[in-house]
Amino acid sequence: MPPSRALPPQLVRAHEGFEALYAALEDGRVGRERVADVVKRLLVLREEERLPSASEVAAGYQLRRPKRISQDVASRAVKALADPYRLVVPQAARREGSGRPSIPLLLGGDRWFVVGVTVWRLPAGGASIMLAVTDLLGRRLCQDTPTGVVEEKGSIADGVVERVVKAMSDRRELRGRRLFGVGVSVSGHVVDGTEVRLSPVPEASRHDLGQEIADGLDQVADRTLARFARGAAVPVVVDNDAALLAVRETFQPDQPFRDTVVAAVFPDGIGSSVVVNNRVYRGARGAAGEVGHLVVGSDLVARARATEGPDTRAEAGFAAECSCTDRDDERGIKRGGHVDCYAPPARIAAQVGRAETIRQLINTSDDDRQVSDVFAIAGEALGIALSSLITIHDPEQLVVYLPKAFEDVILRDRSNLAGHRYWATAGDVIRERSYPAADALPISLRYVSDEDLKVLGAESAGLRVVDSFIKHGKGRCKCYISPPVERVEEVRAQEWDADSLWP
């Protein structure tokens, strides 16, 4: 079934290469849905020291809810993936016990690679670009250093294209491999993989970054790109940074939970996403779980004002408007009082206003009342956001990515330091406000530096390309809509009548 022509152009463009590959893999004996199922099982069943065999893939022994598929069907799907496209590469046979030797299967082997890109937008405008190249299992092959500031919105796409081509030209690790796709991590909302709000760059609020990158790759008259893509359309998949971290959770082999809340404290904002039944739930406009724009309440706003000091930078501290404010809005509405105005490290540093780094502020003595109170206010805002997610979603697990600078004060419970009050206050609010009670909720805190977060975002973006390939094969992407888009629009234009919804 080809992609629907009624869909946004970039979505169709992103999956053209997938469609061509599935069409080539199908041989009448095994359908694309089973092929996609085997790819997913190879991705989830991966282990550092032990790869699964075809029989283990069929059994699905490491899935959260093991579901057996026919051994014959699994073998056919593996054969279709292995020859001639080498999407599955059999490894040397192994013998365990007295049974027959088994043949481990490696997804992608040394034949394919994915490029992941993090577009890290800067508060003053522009962006920095980080690129990482992985195999189909998400294992890093090589990475680039971040670029300097890219000023214009159009040059962001140009910069990504330039870095992709350069990486393929310069890296010996990629010789003999084929490019599977390009994944892009962005901080803004993503709708159907195409419409990106480039907050906090207001003038670029609705341009399509993914389409620009895809067009740029099409226009590259470079033998390097032609050699890796082999003439096929290169899939370009754009997604939100927090949603990508959630996608990463769904493929962890040691992850027993199917319902998870994932949140990340980025330098300039709070990102969050929800996983329902082991699938990332995105909502109608790509903003499901985005609690950074919740209003914290007038009481906290008033107490936050009391933390202002002589060095407070009002234009960037707690009282500054949120990045979601549309400066082109004719109504002149200024949005403030959101979680994103209080919880991020950049807001904390601006509210204190001194020359210290966030790490230095974290390690300031708790006797410094202003710094201590600023961290408490920021932590309370974070707790409000997370408790709201917990109450609405009722997850099995909460995963929170925190700046690396907080690791020591939290793990060693250094209550004599101002930074300790950040997570301590957030935890108190979570316990007080969450329903059901959060005491029994597993909370996993993961500490990452800004640079590591960029690399993690790029790697997760690469994994999202493989995830998109799987979803396309299973008919679970936006290329497959029933009823057709035209029918949906027709129904929306009519008065609500349940009997008229379906033909």
Domain 25-110, CATH: 1.10.10.10
CB 460 within 8 A of CB 262: no
Q: Return the H-helix or E-strand segment holding 260.
A: strand 260-266
For the entire predicted model, the pTM comes to 0.87
pLDDT band at 17 (very low <50, low <70, confident <90, very high): confident
Q: What is the CA radius of gyration of the chain?
A: 24
Q: Which two tokens stand for residue 2?
A: 């080809």
Which residues, 6+ apart, have CB-to-CB distance to 171 below 8 Å?
A: 133, 141, 142
Q: Cα–Cα distance between 226 and 135 in angstroms, integer?
A: 19
* Average pLDDT score over residue span 261-289: 91
Query: Does residue 290 have a pLDDT over 80?
Result: yes
The predicted-structure confidence for 114-131, as pLDDT tens digits, reads as follows 999 998 877 666 778 889
Q: For the ranges 70-74, 205-209, 335-339, which has the lowest average pLDDT?
A: 205-209
- Which residues on adjacent β-strands are paired with residue 280? 275
Q: What is the pLDDT at residue 216?
A: 85
Residue 115: CB atoms within 10 Å: 30
Q: What is the pLDDT at residue 115?
A: 93
Q: For the ranges 188-192, 194-198, 279-283, 386-390, which has the lowest average pLDDT?
A: 194-198
Taking CA atoms, 199 is separated from 208, 324, 342, in Å, by: 13, 7, 17
CB 339 within 8 A of CB 381: yes
Q: Cα–Cα distance between 120 and 11 in angstroms, integer?
A: 22
Kindly tell me the sign of the dihedral angle through the C-alpha atoms of 489, 495, 496, 501.
negative
Q: Which two tokens stand for residue 164?
A: 């992709």
Q: Cα–Cα distance between 260 and 423 in angstroms, integer?
A: 19
pLDDT band at 323 (very low <50, low <70, confident <90, very high): confident
CB 181 within 8 A of CB 237: yes
pLDDT band at 45 (very low <50, low <70, confident <90, very high): low
The predicted-structure confidence for 454-496, as pLDDT tens digits, reads as follows 999 999 999 999 999 999 888 888 777 544 444 434 434 444 3
Q: Which of 112, 91, 116 is nearest to 102 (CA)?
A: 91
Q: What is the pLDDT at residue 134?
A: 92
If one compares 276 and 25, the residue with the highest pLDDT of the two is 276
What SS3 class is residue 415?
Answer: coil
Neighbouring C-alpha atoms within 13 Å toward the C-beta of 397: 18
Neighbouring C-alpha atoms within 13 Å toward the C-beta of 255: 23
Q: Cα–Cα distance between 273 and 264 in angstroms, integer?
A: 9
Q: Which two tokens stand for residue 370?
A: 């202003």
Q: Cα–Cα distance between 135 and 106 in angstroms, integer?
A: 10
If one compares 77 and 3, the residue with the highest pLDDT of the two is 77
Q: Which of 250, 333, 341, 262 is nearest to 300 (CA)?
A: 341
Query: What are the residue ranges of helices labelled H in 136-236?
Result: 153-170, 209-219, 223-229
Query: Does residue 309 have a pLDDT over 80?
Result: yes
The predicted-structure confidence for 347-388, as pLDDT tens digits, reads as follows 999 999 998 999 999 999 999 999 999 999 999 999 999 999
Same fold? 25-110, 258-441: no
Q: What is the pLDDT at residue 306?
A: 95
Q: What are the φ and ψ backbone dihedral angles of 224, each rounded to 5 degrees?
A: -60, -50
Taking CA atoms, 187 is separated from 120, 243, 287, 362, 468, in Å, by: 7, 10, 11, 25, 19
Q: Cα–Cα distance between 324 and 408 in angstroms, integer?
A: 33
Q: Cα–Cα distance between 15 and 22 in angstroms, integer?
A: 10
Domain boundaries, the chain: 1-24+112-257+450-503, 25-110, 258-441
Rounded to 10 deg, the angle between the 241-250 and 450-474 helix axes is: 60
CB 131 within 8 A of CB 116: yes
Kindly tell me the sign of the dihedral angle through the C-alpha atoms of 305, 307, 310, 314.
negative
- Which residues on adjacent β-strands are paired with residue 132? 116, 143
Q: Which of 422, 379, 327 is nearest to 125 (CA)?
A: 327
Query: What are the residue ranges of helices labelled H in 83-208?
Result: 153-170
Most confident of 25-39, 43-57, 320-334, 460-474: 460-474
Averaged pLDDT of the chain: 81
Taking CA atoms, 339 is separated from 197, 258, 380, 390, in Å, by: 18, 27, 9, 16
CB 12 within 8 A of CB 3: yes
Share of the chain above pLDDT 70, in %: 79
If one compares 44 and 194, the residue with the highest pLDDT of the two is 44
Determine the topology of domain 258-441 in CATH. Answer: Nucleotidyltransferase; domain 5 (3.30.420)
Domain 1-24+112-257+450-503, CATH: 3.30.420.40
Q: Which two tokens stand for residue 325?
A: 């404010």
